């Protein structure tokens, strides 16, 4: 959790008695009081994410959530993801209040491409040694991400696992559930030749490719986390690498229910970059032409490429400045772009859907 | 995941191109081919958990699941949990195909106490180095747990995180969603003074208290994992410690919809043992009298106590032979017990719900 769960708020529980004489759980490396302190710190934060459909508060064995009203045939959409080795950057920077945003983003952005509205999220925080202020910072990030997404932080688990994680290390995973009316599910079946591809900008690396990013910048490039990022606007290498992943919930909310459903599908540019993800939005028989020149590449990505990562490896590992691709009815592009811009998420035309001729790749990188 | 997810089947993806010249993701310690091999090994297993309401197969950005028919007001129930340091026993034994059952059990048993039927589960597997056969074994356990629970393994994430986990180490987390008709939610509000408390047996340690169990048996007691368990029936210490957590899905299915709803509430005996969990099933003003003598304590728990863990610490750390407590309408106990026995889950009367007099603890351990 992070979140006073459900079955465990740390291995103790709110009314755990004082340790008995003899060999105890605390002797074995598990600190129940620290767990309870972390729970108290978290409760107020978590309460700010409450949704009207919610039936339970934290403390039960599981979280309960009703469904939004007015759906003809609600379909649950769910996914799970972690933050990957971006955590090692946060740990090295001793800055723990933003990776929770990344955690939510990685899950919620996956939900959004189905047309779902995010409903609830649960987090799993595993630590070598439980430090209440660190847990509070991690959960503060998760709560901020949930607020940006409009979903409730319904529960979670904080596990203190001495022996599995080094002291000071932790891992984060989250699970999100959204809901979509069956008739409104987005995806490949809706996409047509002639659809226009709109790009939403990424904020930087988002949460993918950090093993390569750290290798390129910190090892091969020999840069320190506190040094200014080469080609950047003054932020340090560490700050640039930690910049939170953009959450596109408000952008999708603005266009999801437009009459006539001009948004056909979307591709979250996550692990596998611009090679693996765009084809997941298209049906067999169609391909997409993408012109990346229209989207500026964030300085952190240019700095990585400058360390000898070739363009094909950049494309298959990083988002290259594009956090989300939207596949939109051609006649409605201006209207969709205007609705997106009104949410603060400017969209750029970067391509089009074409019939896939024999021998054509699924994604063709070429000027429009 | 374990499960070819959703957004990542390992950091590559099914159609990842060959590595480019120059610095690559593989150089940075992430093996995309191993990820893809793991996905192929998993797919067939996962397909066996498919439910009729399921709309998606693995590979999309998220998993899609309809709701069971015939519910007046469906409420989602969700929770997350991991296996804790039981994993260190599995790693030391090099036996990876049962901890997935524990993972499912820890989540599904939490869902069941609300009255929910388990619907879907997602897994998160984080490893230092991705070994496809190990991932396959882990997922085989998760799949077995899902089959025992009747829930679909709808997605997941396998994260290769060099630097966060030692080679050979891994962590598991899962997230489960169930559904219950609002009018049938179980819990404290239904419990009445006079209700009878039935116990369902645990199979052993289940998945709690392993830091103390390892300390007591392996360090203080100096036992080896391959040695026979003292007082056991011939199984080794390691086998006894790895015995999978019982999943009570079939037991609950047999009594959940009995006319008149004689099952009022339940308590999953998880972290916090018999001190913290039983009170979670009762409303303020009521207490419970429990007589533990009626339930035999598994040999592994007797062996732990023999190393100097006092009874109060045993009660607050371990399940002490009871995996689940059921709070049942007094006039219907025989009928409920018969329905449970028919599923292979014998129930034992261990207590009763009483009015809580001033100064009385929430749980009173006393002969009936």
Q: Count CB-CB contacts under 10 A for residue A73.
A: 11
Q: Residue A7: inside a domain, yes or no?
A: no
* Residues B81, A11: C-beta atoms closer than 8 Å: no
CA max distance for chain A: 76
Which of the 8 DSSP states describes residue B209?
Answer: -
Q: How far apart are CA B37 and CA B58, in angstroms?
A: 15
Nearest to A78 among B62, B185, B211 (CB): B62
Smallest CA–CA distance, residue A194 to chain B, in Å, is 23
Q: Residue B208: inside a domain, yes or no?
A: yes
* Residues A77, B63: C-beta atoms closer than 8 Å: yes
Residues of B in contact with A270 (CB under 8 A): 7-8
Check if B7 contacts A (Cβ < 8 Å): yes
Nearest CA in chain A to B26: A212
Smallest CA–CA distance, residue A345 to chain B, in Å, is 21
For chain B, the C-alpha Rg in angstroms (whole number) is 22
Tell me the mean pLDDT in the region A85-111: 97
Check if B60 contacts A (Cβ < 8 Å): yes
Most A CBs within 10 Å: which of B78, B142, B186, as the mutation test of the A interface?
A: B78
Q: Residue A309: inside a domain, yes or no?
A: yes
Tell me, yes or no, whether A179 and A268 share the same domain.
no
Tell me the pairing of strands A347-355 and B74-82: unpaired
Q: How many CB pairs under 8 A join A and B?
A: 364
Check if B23 contacts A (Cβ < 8 Å): yes
Q: How many domains does chain A have?
A: 2
* Residues B208, A120: C-beta atoms closer than 8 Å: no
Most B CBs within 10 Å: which of A125, A206, A316, as the mutation test of the B interface?
A: A316
Nearest to A20 among B85, B277, B312 (CB): B312
What value of ipTM does the predicted structure carry? 0.89
* Residues B271, A169: C-beta atoms closer than 8 Å: no
**Beta sheet of A117-127, edge-to-edge order:** A152-160, A117-127, A170-181, A74-82, B63-65
Q: Which residues pair with A173 in a beta bridge?
A: A82, A124
- The tokens for B34 are 């191993």
Q: Residues 213..252 of B with a Cβ closer than 8 Å to A: which?
A: 214-216, 220
Q: How far apart are CA A160 and CA A163, in angstroms?
A: 10
- The tokens for A357 are 């001729």
Tell me, yes or no, whether B224 and B306 share the same domain.
yes
Encode pLDDT of A137-151 as tens digits. 999 999 999 999 999
* Residues A317, B25: C-beta atoms closer than 8 Å: yes
Residues of B in contact with A279 (CB under 8 A): 15
Which residues constitute the domain of residue B156? Answer: 32-61+71-184
Tell me, yes or no, whether A283 and A211 share the same domain.
yes
Q: Residues 314..353 of B with a Cβ closer than 8 Å to A: which?
A: 316-317
* Residues B62, A8: C-beta atoms closer than 8 Å: no
Residues of A in contact with B78 (CB under 8 A): 62-63, 65, 120, 122, 154-155, 175, 177
Tell me the mean pLDDT in the region A179-200: 97
Residues of A in contact with B20 (CB under 8 A): 310-313
Encode pLDDT of A260-270 as tens digits. 999 999 999 99
Q: Residue B352: inside a domain, yes or no?
A: yes
* Residues A13, B275: C-beta atoms closer than 8 Å: yes
pLDDT at B41: 80
Tell me, yes or no, whether A207 and A324 share the same domain.
yes
* Residues B62, A82: C-beta atoms closer than 8 Å: no
Most B CBs within 10 Å: which of A58, A76, A125, A287, as the mutation test of the B interface?
A: A76
- Give burial (CB, 10 Å; 0-12/13-18/19+) of B318: buried
Per the CB < 8 A criterion, the answer to whether B256 and B323 are in contact is: no
B45: Cβ–Cβ under 8 A, 6 or more apart, which residues? B136, B139, B140, B143
Nearest to B62 among A111, A215, A311 (CB): A111
Tell me the mean pLDDT in the region A313-341: 98
Per the CB < 8 A criterion, the answer to whether B304 and B318 are in contact is: yes
Nearest CA in chain B to A362: B15
Nearest to B64 among A20, A77, A88 (CB): A77
pLDDT at A269: 98
Tell me, yes or no, whether B224 and B273 share the same domain.
yes
Judged against a pLDDT cut of 80, whether residue A276 lies above it is answered with: yes
Tell me, yes or no, whether A93 and A194 share the same domain.
no
Q: Residue B8: inside a domain, yes or no?
A: no
Smallest CA–CA distance, residue B71 to chain A, in Å, is 12
Judged against a pLDDT cut of 70, whether residue A12 lies above it is answered with: no
Tell me, yes or no, whether A105 and A196 share the same domain.
no
Check if B164 contacts A (Cβ < 8 Å): yes
- Where is average pLDDT lowest: A100-109, A161-170, B293-302? A161-170
CATH number at residue B316: 3.90.650.10
Nearest to A308 among B22, B61, B155 (CB): B22
Tell me, yes or no, whether B342 and B210 share the same domain.
yes
Q: Residues 244..303 of A with a Cβ closer than 8 Å to B: which?
A: 267-268, 270-272, 275-277, 279-280
**pLDDT tens sequence for chain B (368 residues):** 333 333 333 333 333 333 335 788 777 777 767 777 777 788 889 999 999 999 975 557 899 999 999 999 999 999 999 999 999 999 999 999 999 999 999 999 999 999 999 999 999 999 988 899 999 999 999 999 999 999 999 999 998 887 888 878 999 999 999 999 999 999 999 999 999 999 999 999 999 999 899 999 999 999 999 999 999 999 999 999 999 999 999 999 999 999 999 999 999 999 999 999 999 999 999 999 999 999 999 999 999 999 999 999 999 999 999 999 999 999 999 999 999 999 999 999 999 999 999 999 999 999 88
* Residues A16, B120: C-beta atoms closer than 8 Å: no
Q: What is the dihedral of CA B359, B360, B365, B366, to 10 degrees?
A: 100
CATH number at residue B142: 3.30.1330.10
* Residues B65, A76: C-beta atoms closer than 8 Å: yes
- The tokens for A55 are 């039936």
* Residues A76, B81: C-beta atoms closer than 8 Å: no
Tell me, yes or no, whether A299 and A256 share the same domain.
yes
Residues of B in contact with A313 (CB under 8 A): 19-20, 22-25
Encode pLDDT of A25-82 as tens digits. 777 777 767 777 777 788 889 999 999 999 975 557 899 999 999 999 999 999 999 9
Residues of B in contact with A221 (CB under 8 A): none
- SS3 per residue for chain A: CCCCCCCCCCCCCCCCCCCCCECCCCCCCCCHHHHHHHHHHHHHHHHCCCCCCECCCCCCCCEEECCCCCCCCEEEEEEEEECCCHHHHHHHHCCCCCHHHHHHHHHHHHHHCCCCEEEEEEEEEEECCCCHHHHHHHHHHHHHHHHHHCCEEEEEEEEECECCECCCCEEEEEEEEEEEEHHHCCCHHHCCCCCEEEEEECCCCCCCCHHHHHHHHHHHCCCCCCCECCCCCCCEHHHHHHCCCCCCHHHHHHHCCCCCCCEEEEEECCCCHHHHCHHHHCCCCEEEEECHHHCCCCHHHHHHHCCCECHHHHHHHCCCCEEEEEEECHHHHHHHHHHHHHCCCCEEEEEEEEECCCCCCCEEECCC
Q: Residues 82..141 of A with a Cβ closer than 8 Å to B: which?
A: 82, 84-85, 87-88, 106, 110-111, 113-114, 116, 119-120, 122-124, 126
* Residues A84, B311: C-beta atoms closer than 8 Å: no
A120: Cβ–Cβ under 8 A, 6 or more apart, which residues? A51, A63, A65, A151, A152, A153, A154, A176, A177, B76, B78
- The tokens for A362 are 């699924």
Q: Which of B156, B184, B212 marks a domain boundary?
A: B184
Smallest CA–CA distance, residue B341 to chain A, in Å, is 25
pLDDT at B57: 59
- Band the pLDDT of A89: cuts 50, 70, 90: very high
Q: Residue B298: inside a domain, yes or no?
A: yes
Judged against a pLDDT cut of 50, whether residue A3 lies above it is answered with: no
Q: Residues 194..213 of B with a Cβ closer than 8 Å to A: which?
A: 208-209, 211-212
Q: Residue B335: inside a domain, yes or no?
A: yes
Q: Which of B153, B184, B215 marks a domain boundary?
A: B184
Tell me, yes or no, whether B268 and B341 share the same domain.
yes
Q: Residue B164: inside a domain, yes or no?
A: yes
Task: Using a pLDDT cut of 70, give the percent of chain A over it.
Answer: 93
Tell me, yes or no, whether A167 and A235 share the same domain.
no
Q: Which of A143, A160, A184 marks a domain boundary?
A: A184
Residues of B in contact with A268 (CB under 8 A): 7, 61
Tell me, yes or no, whether B171 and B89 share the same domain.
yes
Q: How far apart are CA B16 and CA B31, in angstroms?
A: 11
pLDDT at B59: 58
């Amino acid at each position: 959790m992070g979140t006073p769960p459900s079955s465990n708020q740390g291995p103790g529980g709110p009314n755990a008695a004082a340790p008995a004489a003899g060999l105890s759980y605390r002797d074995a490396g598990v600190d129940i009081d620290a767990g309870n302190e972390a729970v108290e710190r978290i409760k107020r934060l978590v309460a700010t994410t409450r949704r009207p459909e919610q039936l339970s508060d934290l403390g039960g064995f599981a979280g309960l959530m009703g469904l939004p009203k007015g759906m003809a045939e609600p379909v649950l959409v769910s996914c799970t993801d972690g933050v990957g080795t971006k955590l090692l950057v946060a740990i090295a920077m001793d800055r723990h209040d933003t990776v929770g945003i990344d955690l939510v983003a990685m899950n919620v952005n996956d939900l959004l491409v189905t047309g779902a509205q995010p409903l609830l999220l649960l987090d799993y925080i595993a630590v070598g040694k439980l430090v209440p202020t660190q847990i509070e910072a991690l959960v503060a990030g998760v709560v901020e991400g949930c607020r940006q997404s409009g979903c409730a932080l319904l529960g979670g688990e904080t596990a203190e696992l001495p022996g599995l994680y080094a002291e000071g290390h932790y891992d984060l995973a989250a699970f999100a559930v959204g809901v979509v009316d069956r008739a409104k599910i987005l995806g490949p079946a809706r996409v047509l030749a002639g659809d226009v591809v709109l790009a939403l900008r990424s904020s930087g690396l988002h949460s993918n490719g950090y093993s390569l990013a750290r290798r390129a910048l910190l090892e091969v490039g020999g840069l320190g986390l506190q040094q200014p990022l080469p080609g950047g606007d003054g932020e340090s290498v560490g700050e640039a690498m930690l910049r939170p992943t953009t959450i596109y919930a408000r952008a999708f909310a603005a266009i999801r229910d437009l009459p006539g459903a001009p948004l056909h599908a979307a591709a979250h540019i996550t692990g596998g970059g611009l090679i693996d993800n765009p084809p997941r939005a298209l049906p067999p028989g169609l391909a997409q032409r993408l012109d990346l020149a229209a989207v500026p590449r964030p300085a952190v990505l240019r700095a990585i490429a400058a360390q000898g990562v070739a363009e094909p490896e950049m494309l298959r590992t990083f988002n290259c400045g594009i956090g989300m691709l939207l596949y939109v009815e051609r006649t409605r592009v201006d209207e969709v772009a205007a609705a997106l811009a009104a949410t603060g998420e400017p969209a750029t035309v970067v391509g089009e859907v074409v019939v896939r001729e024999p021998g054509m790749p699924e994604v063709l990188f070429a000027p429009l």
